[in-house]
Amino acid sequence: MKKMLLAMAAVLAGMSTAAQEEQGEAAASDEPLNLEQLLAMFNWDFDAVEITTEQVGEGLYVLFGAGGNIAVSVGEEGVLIVDDMFPELIPKIEAAIREIGGDGVDLVVNTHWHFDHAEGNLALGPAGTTIAAHVNSAEMMSKENILNMVITKYRQPAYPPAARPSIVFDDRKRFDFNGEEIDLVHAGPAHTAGDTAVIFKDHNAVHFGDVFNNAGYPFIDVDSGGSIDGMIRFCQAILDEVGPNGIIIPGHGPVTDSATLQAYIDMLRTVRDRVAAQMAEGNSLMAVVASGVTGEFDETYGPVSGSLGFVDRVYTSLQRDAE
């Protein structure tokens, strides 16, 4: 099934009448939605979600469902996963892990703190799973946050202590797990201020979280420290590590390769430069959004009107960083 950002894009084209009214009322009052309201807005039904599995290497898999993609390392030392979707889906996720030879989840790495990648902590943490994340994401999980997705806002509650990371790091951390070196890399603020790329060294595979979205234009959480320049730097830094033959696991969308990641970086750079050029001419945000700066990239990444304010967030991050 399509992942979070693609589902959100579909909402812009046609959500249920009730959901439109609910979203409109929230926007009118600028009142952030709770999770129940957000799920209704995007017509997500966890009962109907199917977890599918793709093997990308010996002992390394990717699970797809609702929310961010999950990477799974299965071996003699147990099960390590990257991101964990939602608590309602954990029984289905654990069933999928049993089918590939695992039993439970020993360690989860959160690529960042957003609900669609880390909400499963609420089930896994209290059950005894160790949680790891960048220090900035761990801090965000410890408090309530308002996630500004441009088309709506979501109030993400603080996670209880048992659902927060007990292992944190600043720039890099290495796990030796299932006979493989697994590097956690923070290449600076990008999608958020606390992003982690998880590199499975023997497989030359990397889970990017939402710094790399392969289901459409990315969302840049500018309000929590993300930026377009950071997205470009982060992606380039990790591409430089894995080289031209990497297995690239995006936060959303299908597993792909280094060439696709390079094309994504080129798109980010081109759109960034086009927006910056218009800003230098004094054009307003509204004018830049209406000018069609994504142009030829819409064929690959979908209509920009279906994104979570991609051009808006590029403009806003450049404006903020120039101050």
Token pair 């949680």: residue = 131
Which residues have CB under 8 Å from 264's CB, separation 6+? 212, 214, 235
Q: Do residues 112 and 191 touch, judged by C-beta distance below 8 A?
A: yes
Encoded amino acid at 2, one letter: K
Instruction: Grade residue 19 by pLDDT with cuts at 50, 70 and 90.
Output: very low
Q: Which domain holds residue 174?
A: 4-322
Domain count, the chain: 1
How many Cα atoms sit within 13 Å of 214 on the Cβ side?
Answer: 23
Instruction: Grade residue 42 by pLDDT with cuts at 50, 70 and 90.
Output: confident
pLDDT at 294: 98
| Residue-wise pLDDT tens digits, 100-155 | 999 999 999 999 999 999 999 999 999 999 999 999 999 999 999 999 999 999 99
| Residue-wise pLDDT tens digits, 181-202 | 999 999 999 999 999 999 999 9
pLDDT at 234: 98
* Token representation of residue 47: 């009962």
Of 42, 227, 266, 298, which is closest to residue 152 (Cα–Cα)? 42
Q: DSSP labels for 174-233? A: EEEETTEEEEEE--SSSSSSS--EEEETTTTEEE-GGGS-SSSSPP--GGGT--HHHHHH
How many Cα atoms sit within 13 Å of 321 on the Cβ side?
Answer: 18
* Token representation of residue 295: 């142009």
| Residue-wise pLDDT tens digits, 272-284 | 999 999 999 999 9
pLDDT at 44: 86
* Predicted model pTM: 0.92
What CATH number is given to the structural domain containing 170? 3.60.15.10
Phi first, then psi, for residue 222 (nearest 5°) are -60, -35
